[in-house]
Amino acid sequence: MAVLPIRTVGDPVLRTPAVPVTTFDAALARLVEDMIETMYAAPGVGLAAPQVGVGLRVFVYDVGYSPGDPAVPRHPRVVVNPVLTLDEETPLGEETPLDEETPLGEETSAGEETSAGEGTGEGRAEDVGGADGTGGADDTGGAEDAEDAERGVAEGCLSVPGLYFPTPRAWRATVRGVDVSGESVEYTGQGLAARCFQHECDHLDGILYLSRLTGAARVAAVRALREALPARGDGQSAGSASAQAAQGASAFGRS
């Protein structure tokens, strides 16, 4: 297994919808293994294939581990060609075309996940900084509730490092797809797990989470990203930094 470089905002692959997987072979299995290794190394609780430069509809996740405690078991899961279903009674942040994108990452509470045939349990990712993911749960084990989802728990994303903003999401969601062998899988989650499913499926549609932001959070995110991108352009010309900032601005919408 290998730790892969994670693509960051401004890279066109993050705004390009991924294509369905049609070949289930050793190359796909190796990609999934590398994605899992990369997710844990980040560390994060989820990672989509476009984030490592691969335009396939694949994501991996694990909302129950603790990077600071190796005694906590790790249970990585993969969903290939996922189909996302949201609980219609829970809030959802709609995508709005603006000019910027962001990360999935840090969350303050754990989510409950139910896997078909595997029972239920609380997912916890203490001190996990957004993997493309929804980030770390606190050590109280409290679950995010529907009210938290409506007002928006802070999300971040490995593809937009260091930025976290309140993001409205449906509190409960189900994802259906297949595994690396083409066998059907189905997972239902709430709180952190549901947020993770939505965040990763957005990546597969070429959407960064900043497109889900509203109001003051959206304004703050646009400003923060425009300020952050030139700062990362050490050694670049002013023109190059400006071009990079423009790319970051366009990341909010799928132009």
Question: Which candidate, 248, 133, 121, 138, places its Cα nearest to that of 198?
Answer: 133
196 in a labelled binding site: no
75 in a labelled binding site: no
- According to DSSP, residue 142 is labeled P
Question: Which candidate, 40, 34, 82, places its Cα nearest to that of 199?
Answer: 82
Which run of H or of E encompasses 115?
A: strand 111-115
Instruction: State which amino acid sits at residue 63.
Output: V
Please give the Cα distance from 183 to 177 (Å, whole number).
8
Structure tokens at 169: 């999401």
Q: Is 40 left (phi over 0), alpha (psi -120 to 50) or beta?
A: alpha
Give catalytic status of residue 200 as yes or no.
yes
Of 100, 101, 155, 200, the catalytic one is 200
- List active site positions: 200
State the binding site for Fe cation: 157, 199, 203
